[in-house]
Amino acid sequence: MTKPSKHKRVAIYARVSTKDKQDVQNQVRELRQWCTRMNYAIVKEYIDSESGSKGRGERKQFTQMFEDASRRKFDLLLFWALDRFTREGLAKTIFYLQQLDSYGVRFHSYREEYLNSDNELVRDILLSVLSSLAKQERLRISERTKAGLETARRKGKHIGAPTKAHLKEEIKLLAKRGMSKPKIAKKLKIARQTVYTYWPAKL
């Protein structure tokens, strides 16, 4: 017989898309059965029916779940796997897990047993390791962004908002080609008044 756990109030979270609706229903069924085996009481099920790429603000049940967690309406959050919990990237995932931890709510991934531990020290170590991985992910993204900007600069592409000097040069060049002020404004996506302001005195 399974020994009753300290965690009696359990919430289940699942995210459903049109492609895997049947699979998720089967997963939720297994999660319910797991709670029964562990003598856990399911207090609520949060089911979102939308794309996993959407942020927390667009997942109403996900948002409600965190509001309820902050009020300690349940002791343990159960989900199928991390990629069913959220697909917002490692950094966001860690943020959400740490937020649950700050509320005193444990989490349990059904498919990822290595994440689950009642030992507070082990859990803290796991979160610390995952946080380090998330930091590395952010650094890699930052490095790729910088590399992309540098490549664009080397190719002569202008990065960011146009400077006054850049606008003057562009307007002068187009004016010399015989382009009218309205057409220049449209091409550069600027106000006509800006074209008049920087219109060269001599062509």
Structural domain tally of the chain? 2
* 189 shares a domain with 100: no
Give the number of other CB atoms < 10 A from CB of residue 109: 19
Per the domain annotation, does 90 fall within a domain?
A: yes
* 106 shares a domain with 55: yes
**48-52, 63-67, 77-81, 89-93: the lowest-pLDDT one:** 48-52
The residue behind tokens 């995210």 is 15
Per the domain annotation, does 111 fall within a domain?
A: yes
Instruction: Examine the fold and report which residue of 92, 114, 134 is the final residue of a domain before the chain moves on.
Output: 134
The tokens for 160 are 């960011």
Q: Mean pLDDT, the chain, as a whole number?
A: 79
CB contact burial 119-155 (16+ within 10 A = b; e otherwise): eeeebeebeeebbeebeeeeeeeeeeeeeeeeeeeee
* 182 shares a domain with 108: no
Q: For residue 55, is pLDDT > 70? A: no
Q: The whole model's pTM is what?
A: 0.58
Put residue 159 in one of left, alpha, beta given phi > 0 → left and psi -120 to 50 → alpha: beta
Domain that holds residue 123: 9-134
Q: Higher model confidence: residue 63 or residue 125?
A: 63
- Report d(CA 183, CA 161) in Å as an integer: 20
Highest mean pLDDT among 41-45, 56-60, 112-116: 41-45
* 83 shares a domain with 29: yes
Over residues 118-137, the mean pLDDT reads: 66
Highest mean pLDDT among 35-49, 108-122, 142-156, 165-179: 35-49
What is the domain-level CATH number for residue 42? Answer: 3.40.50.1390
Per the domain annotation, does 141 fall within a domain?
A: no
Over residues 100-119, the mean pLDDT reads: 84
CB 75 within 8 A of CB 11: no
Per-residue pLDDT reduced to its tens digit, 132-184: 665 666 677 677 777 766 666 666 665 555 667 778 888 888 888 888 888 88
Percentage, residues of the chain above pLDDT 90 = 28
Amino acid identity of 123? R
* 128 shares a domain with 33: yes
Per the domain annotation, does 140 fall within a domain?
A: no
